[in-house]
Amino acid sequence: MPKPTFYNLSAARRARIEAVAIDEFSKNGLKSAVLNNIVAKSGIAKGSFYQYFENIEDLYQHILSLVQKRKTDVASSLQTSKTIMDTFAYLRWLIQLSVVFMLREPKLAKIELLDFVDHPVIKSVDPETGERVSGDGRFHALLTQGVLHDDLATWVDTDMAAYVLNLIANLIAPYLIDRIGDKGISLADGSVNIVYDPMVQALFDNLMDIIEAGIARDPQIRQDFYSK
């Protein structure tokens, strides 16, 4: 993470370094990012860079923290009430969040996607239990609660299912954006969002049908799905 000297820079200079780093990491990820490109485009000496960060990995971790902060900001802007959602409604909201985040912050979303590709098996903390789990801890907590509330089959391996859902959330957003097209994107309020017209709604309905048919507790859901 940044050294204290980084925060002694003006806000404009910090923003410039971050913007250049975001551009570099969104194109190349960490593995192929070139520090000389970041230094040159930021207009700082290479020696000065090491006054602000230990190395390029340190800068990358700082940018990842910005990704999570911006994604949290986007989540806060989406109207929802988690407390009244069932497991699949909240899962649907999480996937929609991934789509909206990619629409609003395409470079940051690309960094998140490249990081996921580079580190497909990650360990995070389940916010409910504190347990180290595969994939995003939010999905693990969601599925654990789903089993307790009889939304999911008891035979579901929640760790594996959370990892699969993490894959879906990270990889399906570009596909959904392509399917939604211009009709599903709104700039009316100055921000990018999903317009929930019938076409967009049907697309998300079908995605959730596919997911529910695989892990839902009620066998009638599978029967209804396969009879469509």
Tell me the torsion sign for CA atoms 210, 211, 212, 213: positive
Give the domain ranges of the chain: 4-64, 78-226
Second CATH level (architecture) for the domain 4-64? Orthogonal Bundle (1.10)
Read off the pTM.
0.79
Per-residue pLDDT band for 160 (boundaries 50, 70, 90) equals confident
Q: Which residue has the higher pLDDT, 112 or 124?
A: 112
Using an 8 Å Cβ cutoff, are 71 and 113 in contact?
Answer: no
Tell me the torsion sign for CA atoms 201, 206, 207, 212: positive
Distance CA 206, CA 26 (A): 30
Per-residue pLDDT band for 22 (boundaries 50, 70, 90) equals very high
Q: Give me the mean pLDDT over the 158-171 stretch.
A: 82
Quote the mean pLDDT of the chain: 82
DSSP assigned state of 121: S
Q: pLDDT tens for residues 28-87? A: 999 999 999 999 999 999 999 999 999 999 999 999 999 999 998 988 877 665 555 678
Task: Indicate the class that CATH gives domain 78-226.
Answer: mainly alpha
Structure tokens at 180: 């939604």
